[in-house]
């Protein structure tokens, strides 16, 4: 009961903050969100012992009071733990949408995505993590609420285990504090960094805190003495103003001591005196410069320390006039002169900046959010110049993915698994055969998405291929593939050159520069390496080149084969007619030649031989459909061939095409005729009939051409058969 009372008291404090700014409808939504969160979560606690709803209320209070966001963000702050994994009641997305609308659900979903993001290497890839956060978050309010959430966590870090504290501090210093700074949330940024220092270097933190306490009275007396003459001048001129001293943050003091190598007492700008003027918008700059003149009339200024961020504001909207003067007791002190509006922008960042531009959460808020996205992405963009010129989809052109070790890599949108492999290492890309995305097997061409966890599979047999250039996206990957292909081309080109030189030496011919130029012109190449590459890959036959350097004279079949085949393969072949015909035995025992499957020659057919590059001699029919092309393109590979009978009969496979009328029993009759011929063996039969007609394809084994002709004659005599022809295959 006591915990509930504490929660309701905390919420009442939040209510009192919000009532000054929001209307009745907005307050009703905020109250509804608190009741919903309390009904769902109750007095449940996180693992580290903190009451969940207390955390949510404190986050919402930071959003309302310290960052000044609108009611949607406060509602999301109150609700951001209603889908916490450890709760008994499971709130559904539909329930959130129905009760609070699509926008609130989108913000909560963005926070859930960020919470699930691993940050093991955030200290190494902090800028990429910040961009990934934005890409996953979608709505920029998610980032701001996460900063508020992290500030609350850091303020209560003592309740966490040491391991979790270390992780949270690392995330905060590399991720959330820089984001807060970029948003102009200087106060939040300073507190986050101070708290990081408190847990990272406790002794140093405590030392600075102790020294600040010890010198507090001294600073107070100094400020009181300093401001008197300046206050009088401002009052005499009718200015409404306030003056206050702001001590430098603990982390800033520590960093300055470290960077400059000085002691605490030697830090010159330990604190600054701030003059805040109440000015009309049109008088702001003039009033600030008037106040500046009063200060410099009273105290000696250091002209090298003047910082004019009124004429040209900082990129995040910060406006102020800074100068350093020599105050009482001969001490230098920084003076910051600004208006009330400028001060609020400096304290609360871009939210305050937009408020003063006349924006409201429900009117032009999207424009403000778009500005924030651009500021977070582009640190050099000037907010003041940037208003009305923004892009709402800055992250559409890049994605962020993880290596197996948790390192973060940035790639352009549309990047593939292979792009990622090349991003890691060129050798990894060259040998990549695919991999896994989020544990699922994918191909080289798989397109990656934000937050993917990727593993690469490689093979030592893999090589870069020309078609990779069709789907690669990154210049790094494309350039590497082109380089690898060129290197391989050079290697093969050198091999091709060696082949040609060796051949020309065997032919007792000279291959000189004039000869190379002649060949380049013939084949249309610009460089010799292209010619050599074609030779090495078998696209150009050395014998074809030889014909350009020798007289056209008839060669015997045996001489041709000796040019084309190894000596051991030629010596077992038989020739006839002064070596002008290769003798093909019908027993087909010679393994140095094979019957071509494209035309299935039969003993007795008119034939020729064709010497292939890798598969020996192929025997074709002169009527083969491929014969004209082979004889025209590769005449030097075409050889004369003849059949020669032997006592051993062999069978030859051939194809017959049969067509006719689809009469009863015609197929049975065909098989009967074939079966009656003892010498014929049927390998296969395929018959299709349509509209009373049929087409059939038979594959049979016969002894020779006479045997085949006799079989065709018998098939034609079957009733209903209209045509029997010899097929090509």
CATH number assigned to the domain comprising residue 259? 3.30.460.10
Q: Please tell me the predicted confidence (pLDDT) of residue 392.
A: 28
The residue behind tokens 């949510």 is 56
- Phi/psi at 84 (nearest 5 deg)? -60, 135
Q: In what order do the strands lie in the sheet with 652-661?
A: 681-690, 693-702, 652-661, 721-726
Q: Which of 623, 644, 665 is the last residue of a domain?
A: 644
437/487 same-domain check: no
Closest CA to 290 of 241, 224, 324: 241
Same domain membership, residue 188 and residue 67: yes
In a domain, 381, yes or no: no
359 lies in some domain: no
Region label for 261, one of left (φ > 0), alpha (ψ between -120 and 50) or beta (otherwise)? left
User: What is the structure's pLDDT at 288?
Assistant: 92
Chain segment 660-671, per-residue pLDDT in tens: 887 777 778 888
Largest CA distance in the chain: 135
Whether residues 328 and 446 share a domain: the answer is no
Q: State the chain's mean pLDDT as an integer.
A: 81
Evaluate whether residue 376 is within a structural domain. no
Nearest to 33 by CA among 69, 76, 63: 76
pLDDT greater than 50 at residue 383: no
Q: Which residue has the tokens 């393994």?
A: 591
Q: What is the pLDDT of residue 382?
A: 37
- Choose among 321, 325, 293: nearest CA to 308: 321
Task: Tell me: pLDDT of 535 over 60.
Answer: yes
Q: How is residue 365 written in tokens?
A: 């808020």
Tokens of 3: 């915990």
Highest mean pLDDT out of 53-62, 576-585, 623-632:
53-62
Q: Is residue 163 classed exposed, middle or buried when 0-12, 13-18 and 19+ CB atoms within 10 A define those classes? A: exposed
Boundary-marking domain end, from 519, 546, 573 = 546
Can you give the pLDDT at residue 433? 93
CATH number, position 29: 1.10.3210.10
Within 10 A of 538 (CB to CB), how many other CB atoms are there? 11
Residues 6+ apart with CB under 8 A from 127: none
How confident is the model over 147-168, as pLDDT tens digits?
Answer: 999 999 999 999 988 888 888 8
Indicate if 195 and 219 belong to the same structural domain.
no
Q: Residue 172: which pLDDT band, with cuts at 50, 70 and 90?
A: confident
What is the three-state SS of 378-447?
CCCCCHHHHCCCCCCCHHHHEEEEECCCCCEEEEECCCEHHHHHHHHCHHHHHCEEEEEECCEEECCCCE
Secondary element (H or E) of residue 242: strand 241-247
Asked whether the predicted pLDDT for residue 379 surpasses 50, the reply is no
Instruction: Examine residue 361 and state whether it is found in any structural domain, yes or no.
Output: no
Q: In this structure, are residues 342 and 317 in contact, taking their beta carbons and an 8 Å threshold?
A: no
278 and 175 share one domain: no
pLDDT > 90 in the chain, percent: 19
Do 145 and 8 fall into the same domain?
yes
Angle, CA 177 vertex, CA 172 and CA 179 arms, to 5°: 115
- For residue 425, the domain's CATH number is 3.10.20.30
Residues 614 and 661 in one domain: no
Is the pLDDT at 409 greater than 50, yes or no?
Answer: yes
pLDDT for residue 394 is more than 60? no
pLDDT band at 718 (very low <50, low <70, confident <90, very high): confident
- Within this chain, do residues 658 and 620 fall inside the same structural domain, yes or no? no
Q: For 28-63, give one letter per residue: b (16+ CB within 10 A) or e.
A: ebbbebbebbbebbbeebeeeebbbbbbbbbbbbbb
For residue 227, the Cα-to-chain-centroid distance in whole angstroms is 58
Question: What is the structure's pLDDT at 428?
Answer: 92
432 with 328, same domain? Answer: no
Q: Does residue 523 lie in a domain region?
A: yes
Q: Does a structural domain hold residue 442?
A: yes
Question: What is the distance, to the nearest Å, from the Cα of residue 76 to the centroid of all Cα atoms in its chain?
Answer: 31
pTM of the model as a whole: 0.52
Stretch 383-400: mean pLDDT, rounded?
Answer: 40
195/237 same-domain check: no
Which one has a higher pLDDT value, 133 or 7?
7
Whether 7 is in a domain gets the answer yes
Strand, coil or helix: what is 450? coil
Give the highest mean pLDDT range of 77-81, 213-217, 582-586.
Answer: 77-81
Residues 135, 36, single domain; the answer is yes
Residue 501 has pLDDT above 90, yes or no: no
- Residue 372 scores a pLDDT above 70: no
Stretch (H or E) spanning 491: helix 475-506
Token readout for 277 is 């003027």
Domain match, 53 and 120 both: yes
Q: Are 79 and 100 in contact (CB under 8 A)?
A: yes
pLDDT at 305 over 70: yes
**Token duo for residue 207:** 């030392």
pLDDT of residue 471: 92
Mean pLDDT of 269-283: 88
DSSP-assigned states of every residue in 501-532: HHHHHHTT----HHHHHHHHHHHT-SSHHHHH
How far apart, in whole angstroms, are the C-alpha atoms of residue 667 and residue 662? 9
Q: What is the pLDDT of residue 645?
A: 67
Supply the range of the domain harboring residue 268.
Answer: 210-348
Residue keyed to tokens 């309701």? 8
Bigger pLDDT: 345 or 35? 35
Pick the more confident residue, 643 or 30.
Answer: 30
Position 388 scores a pLDDT of: 26
Q: Give the number of domains in the chain.
A: 6
At which residue do the structure tokens 């000796």 appear?
562
Find the mean pLDDT for residues 593-614.
85
Most confident residue range from 39-53, 381-395, 403-417: 39-53
Look at residue 369 and tell me whether its pLDDT is greater than 70: no
Q: Among 580, 614, 644, identify where a domain stops.
A: 644
Residue 387 belongs to some domain of the structure? no
8 A C-beta contact, residue 594 and residue 618:
yes
| For residue 359, pLDDT beyond 50 | no
Instruction: Report d(CA 40, CA 43) in Å as an integer.
Output: 10
Nearest-angstrom CA–CA distance, 601 and 622: 9
Q: Compute the distance between CA of residue 74 and CA of residue 81 in angstroms, rounded to an integer.
A: 13
pLDDT of residue 357: 45
pLDDT per residue over 246-272, tens digit each?
888 899 889 888 888 888 887 777 888
pLDDT: which is higher, 383 or 652 = 652
Residue 693 bridge partners (DSSP): 661, 690
Structure tokens given for 345: 């922008």
Is residue 46 very low, low, confident or very high in pLDDT (cuts 50, 70, 90)? confident
């Amino acid at each position: 009961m006591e915990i509930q009372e504490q929660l309701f008291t905390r919420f009442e404090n939040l209510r009192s903050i919000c009532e000054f700014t929001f209307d009745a409808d907005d307050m009703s939504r905020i109250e509804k969100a608190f009741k919903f969160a309390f009904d769902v979560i109750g007095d449940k606690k996180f693992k580290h012992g903190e009451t969940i709803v207390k955390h949510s209320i404190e986050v919402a209070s930071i959003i309302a009071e310290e960052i000044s966001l609108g009611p949607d963000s406060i509602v999301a702050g109150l609700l951001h733990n209603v889908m916490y994994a450890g709760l008994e009641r499971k709130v559904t997305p539909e329930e959130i949408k129905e009760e609070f609308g699509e926008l609130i659900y989108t913000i909560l979903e963005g926070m859930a995505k960020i919470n699930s993001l691993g940050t093991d290497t955030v200290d190494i890839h902090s800028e990429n993590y910040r961009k990934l956060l934005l890409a996953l978050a979608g709505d920029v309010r998610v980032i701001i609420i996460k900063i508020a959430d992290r500030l609350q966590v850091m303020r209560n870090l003592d309740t966490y285990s040491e391991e979790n504290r270390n992780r949270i501090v690392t995330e905060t210093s590399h991720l959330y504090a820089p984001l807060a700074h970029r948003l102009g949330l200087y106060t939040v940024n300073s507190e986050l960094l101070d708290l990081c220092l408190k847990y990272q270097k406790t002794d140093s933190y405590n030392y600075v805190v102790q020294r600040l306490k010890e010198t507090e009275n001294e600073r107070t007396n100094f400020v009181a003495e300093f401001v008197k003459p300046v206050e009088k001048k401002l009052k005499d001129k009718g200015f409404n103003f306030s003056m206050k001293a702001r001590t430098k943050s603990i982390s800033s003091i520590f960093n300055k001591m470290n960077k400059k190598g000085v002691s605490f007492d030697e830090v010159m700008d330990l604190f600054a005196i701030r003059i805040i003027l109440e000015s009309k918008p049109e008088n702001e700059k003039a009033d600030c410069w008037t106040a500046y003149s009063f200060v410099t009339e009273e105290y000696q200024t250091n002209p090298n320390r003047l910082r004019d961020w009124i004429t040209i504001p900082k990129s995040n909207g910060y406006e102020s006039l800074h100068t350093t003067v020599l105050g009482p007791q001969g001490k230098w002190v920084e003076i910051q002169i600004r208006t009330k509006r400028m001060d609020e922008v400096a304290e609360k960042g871009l939210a305050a900046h937009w408020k003063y531009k006349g924006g409201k959460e429900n009117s032009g808020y999207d424009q403000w959010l778009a500005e924030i996205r651009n500021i977070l992405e582009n640190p050099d963009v000037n907010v003041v110049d940037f208003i009305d010129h923004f892009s709402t989809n800055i992250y559409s052109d890049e994605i962020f993915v993880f290596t197996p070790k948790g390192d973060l890599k940035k790639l352009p949108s549309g990047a593939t698994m292979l792009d990622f492999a090349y991003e890691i290492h060129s050798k990894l890309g060259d040998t990549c055969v695919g991999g896994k995305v989020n544990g699922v097997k994918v191909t080289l061409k798989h397109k990656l998405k934000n937050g993917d966890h990727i593993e690469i599979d490689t093979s030592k047999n893999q090589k870069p291929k020309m078609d990779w250039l069709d789907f690669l996206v990154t210049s790094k990957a494309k350039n590497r593939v082109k380089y690898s292909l060129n290197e391989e081309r050079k290697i093969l080109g050198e091999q091709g050159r060696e082949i040609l030189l060796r051949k020309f030496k065997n032919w007792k011919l000279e291959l000189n520069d004039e000869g190379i130029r002649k060949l380049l012109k013939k084949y249309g190449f610009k460089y010799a390496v292209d010619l050599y590459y074609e030779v090495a890959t078998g696209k150009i036959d050395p014998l074809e080149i030889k014909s350009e350097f020798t007289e056209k004279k008839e060669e015997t079949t045996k001489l041709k084969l000796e040019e084309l085949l190894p000596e051991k393969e030629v010596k077992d072949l038989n020739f006839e007619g002064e070596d002008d015909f290769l003798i093909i035995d019908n027993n087909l025992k010679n393994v140095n030649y094979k019957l071509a499957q494209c035309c299935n020659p039969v003993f007795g057919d008119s034939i020729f031989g064709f010497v292939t590059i890798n598969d020996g001699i192929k025997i074709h029919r002169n009527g083969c459909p491929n014969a004209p092309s082979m004889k025209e393109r590769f005449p030097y590979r075409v050889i004369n061939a003849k059949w020669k009978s032997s006592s051993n009969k062999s069978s030859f496979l051939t194809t017959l095409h049969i067509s006719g009328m689809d009469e009863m029993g015609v197929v049975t009759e065909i098989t009967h005729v074939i079966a009656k011929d003892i010498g014929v063996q049927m390998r296969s039969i395929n018959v299709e009939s349509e509209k009373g007609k049929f087409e059939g394809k038979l594959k049979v084994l016969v002894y020779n051409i006479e045997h085949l002709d006799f079989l065709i004659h018998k098939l034609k005599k079957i009733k209903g058969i209209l045509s029997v022809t010899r097929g090509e295959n």
